[in-house]
Amino acid sequence: MTDAIFLTGASTGIGRATALRLASRGIVVYAGVRSEADADGLRAEGGERIRPLLVEVTDPHSIDHARAVIAGARDTRLAGIVNNAGIAVAGPLELLPAAALRRQFEVNFFAPLAIVQAFLPLLRATRGRIVNVSSIGGKFAAPFVGAYASSKFALEAASDALRIELRPAGIAVVLVEPGGVKTPIWSRSSAASAHIYDDAPPELRAAYAEMLGNMQRIAANLDKNGIDAERVAIAIERGLFAKFPRARYLVGGDARLRLAVARLPDGIRDAIVARTVGARRPKPAKA
């Protein structure tokens, strides 16, 4: 039987690069995509080893259908799952609607856990792997991406717990933590956050204008100079098939830099971040 991987978020970016890389080495990839057009494009490029599935990761019925398809396949054995699908909700936490915050966690945290729970019976039978695609944002919470970072912090915590809980079953749990990557996630996030910001009261827009402008320039630079998705795909492949996988694979020079800043004493860390985004303390009130 051929080894197979179930991968979410395969339509674009890291997921697409991972699907194509794994298929090129002979792995069957059950690739979770959002549309038939995405499925057709991925299949055309990756060949018969790509088996697209329309998956909505926040829908339990969609997850159950994907599991049933994979469990019913007679020619493959499930070697692992890759929780890659994710969204980024950006903006000042003061302005983010509760629905946007919940959506952030539904996709980035609750969905991966639901997929793990659904697929664990299959993984127990094969001693397969779980790879959760996190972010350096799971270690370093920058201003204006607090919602996204919070969801990744939560995913990191759950993965740490799962890694020990599933050790007796022989199931390794791996985190992949990229820094800035050339993917569509941040351009989609910028469009959504701009709408939230435009709807805010004028006094709040003014309060955040300078810092947001600085963060947008930093984000644009990261997007322009970010690493290729293929580099993250290589780390995912290692997490899936290395004989002795690491608990974490940090990917990208900026990820290492931000991790170093995150480990500094809080006062020093905050001073560095505040200076970077232009978060100045208010002047003392006059007596």
Query: Could you say which DSSP state residue 287 is in?
Result: -
Query: Averaging pLDDT over each range in 141-145, 220-224, 242-246, which range is the top one?
Result: 242-246
Q: Whole-angstrom Cα distance, residue 49 to residue 29? A: 6
Query: Is pLDDT above 70 for 186?
Result: no
Domains and CATH numbers, the chain: 2-277 (3.40.50.720)
- Give mean pLDDT, residues 14-39: 97
pLDDT band with cut points at 50, 70 and 90 for residue 281 = confident
Taking only the tens place, the pLDDT of each residue in 107-118 is 999 999 999 999
The mean-pLDDT minimum among 70-84, 166-180, 272-286 falls in 272-286
pLDDT at 206: 83
**Is 148 a residue of the active site?**
yes
Query: Is pLDDT above 60 for 191?
Result: no
pLDDT at 261: 95
> Which residues fall within 8 angstroms of residue 84, CB to CB, at 6 or more apart?
7, 8, 9, 10, 14, 15, 18, 133, 236
The residue annotated as part of the active site, out of 148, 197, 208, 249, is: 148
Query: Is pLDDT above 90 for 42?
Result: yes
pLDDT band with cut points at 50, 70 and 90 for residue 87 = very high
Phi/psi for 170 (5° steps) reads 75, 20
pLDDT at 190: 58
pLDDT band with cut points at 50, 70 and 90 for residue 285 = low
pLDDT at 203: 84
* Percent of the chain with pLDDT strictly greater than 90: 77
Q: Whole-angstrom Cα distance, residue 235 to residue 242? A: 10
pLDDT at 195: 65
Count other C-beta atoms under 10 Å from residue 89's C-beta.
Answer: 24
Query: Is pLDDT above 90 for 133?
Result: yes
* Percent of the chain with pLDDT strictly greater than 70: 93
The neighbouring-strand residues paired with 28 are 4
